[in-house]
Structure 1
């Protein structure tokens, strides 16, 4: 049993590293990388990566560009709503699928986060997997939507949008690796982001 669990954990970790590497290779091969290209590379049934990847991009230096956090929040919301509705595969509107990123900048951003991903590979493993399945996956979706909704008000504060995107990264990573502990951490971080928004708006 222990060997089986270790094998599953190894597969999850490999999947995470392969995910980042696959998108990184797109950035190295193409001058411009569209969201449609990423969708084709990842597959239409992978909700977790489309929570995790926008969050990682926002947490990189690219997230400091005005307007980028809000755009990424919209992308997260589109996928999270489809998760909430229980869709088996996700749909991306044409205006989003045609949006492109500079390949060199995408490669540079992912190169910076690769050490973080390698660290995650050592600590994440399938735990409390029931939290990453229905009906609890709907809580993950709701938490992602709440975190994404908190992004626009927080753009007025330098780096404040990193909190909701940290929540989204944890939620996406939890779904990818079937780690319910990470999804709980992501939900707590999403609630913290909403509290921060309330403080910004009411303070």
Structure 2
């Protein structure tokens, strides 16, 4: 491959993705170039500086067939909590420990997951775009981070019930998408879904208390 083409591709991968389809395409491209894809490589794909993908991608993976593997939802929730915690304290460059950065998934499975995400991501991009943008910036980013952390705390117990963890992960995915496309209306919707997810969690486990 020509050096100029390599340089162009590198520059594109380091820029912030602009929509969900571009996020999925970058994941698919990364999967095509490796046998296994580490978390660190996924982070490099998004440039470490765009908040949205770091909430959106783990949540979308959990909502894909990969999320059906026991233990995966809780693992992904822990990753989201790590990213959301850094968002909460205003970091503009994400960091994860080396041992976590080296954790990887089969490129084949990731590629299959991106295929299942692609049609959905295109619909999302048609439906959602920059509305009420002031609610997707500034202090509202920290609000989204805090609520996302609350959502991750519900995932481990909900993993005991098939598909139940999809509710909080769906809310986190909406927060990530809202930040990605700077859509305040979607941020409000994500907050509402998070409230529903918390209510469902409480109703499921309240009888056991």
Q: Same fold (TM over 0.5)?
A: yes
Q: Is the 8 A contact 1:74 1:148 kept in 2?
A: yes
Could you say which residue in structure 1 is the equivalent of 2:13?
none
Aligned pair 1:133/2:137, yes or no?
Answer: yes
Match of 2:112 among 98, 108, 117: 108
Could you say which residue in structure 1 is the equivalent of 2:40?
36
Whole-Å separation in 1 of the counterparts to 2:128 and 2:62: 21
Structure 1 residue runs of 5 or longer lacking an equivalent are 1-11
Task: Give the match's secondary structure for 2:95.
Answer: coil
Please list, as runs of the form range in 1=range in 2, the aligned pairs for 1:38-187 lying within 5 A after superposition: 38-187=42-191
Could you say which residue in structure 2 is the equivalent of 1:6?
none
Q: Is the 8 A contact 1:13 1:124 kept in 2?
A: no
Task: Give the match's secondary structure for 1:126.
Answer: coil
Q: Is the 8 A contact 1:24 1:106 kept in 2?
A: yes
- Note the alpha carbon deviations across 1:61-112, whole angstroms, 9 max, x for none: 1111110000000000000011110111111111211010100000001101
Whole-Å separation in 2 of the counterparts to 1:67 and 1:56: 16
Please state how far the C-alpha of 1:13 moved relative to its aligned partner: 8.8
Match of 1:189 among 179, 193, 208: 193
Q: Is the 8 A contact 1:84 1:142 kept in 2?
A: yes
Whole-Å separation in 1 of the counterparts to 2:114 and 2:141: 27
Please state how far the C-alpha of 1:145 moved relative to its aligned partner: 0.7
Q: Is the 8 A contact 2:18 2:180 kept in 1?
A: no
- Note the alpha carbon deviations across 1:135-173, whole angstroms, 9 max, x for none: 111111111111111101101111000000100110000
TM-score by length of 1: 0.91
Task: Give the match's secondary structure for 2:92.
Answer: coil
Q: Is the 8 A contact 1:127 1:181 kept in 2?
A: yes
TM-score by length of 2: 0.88
Output the aligned Cα RMSD.
Answer: 1.4
Whole-Å separation in 2 of the counterparts to 1:14 and 1:131: 18
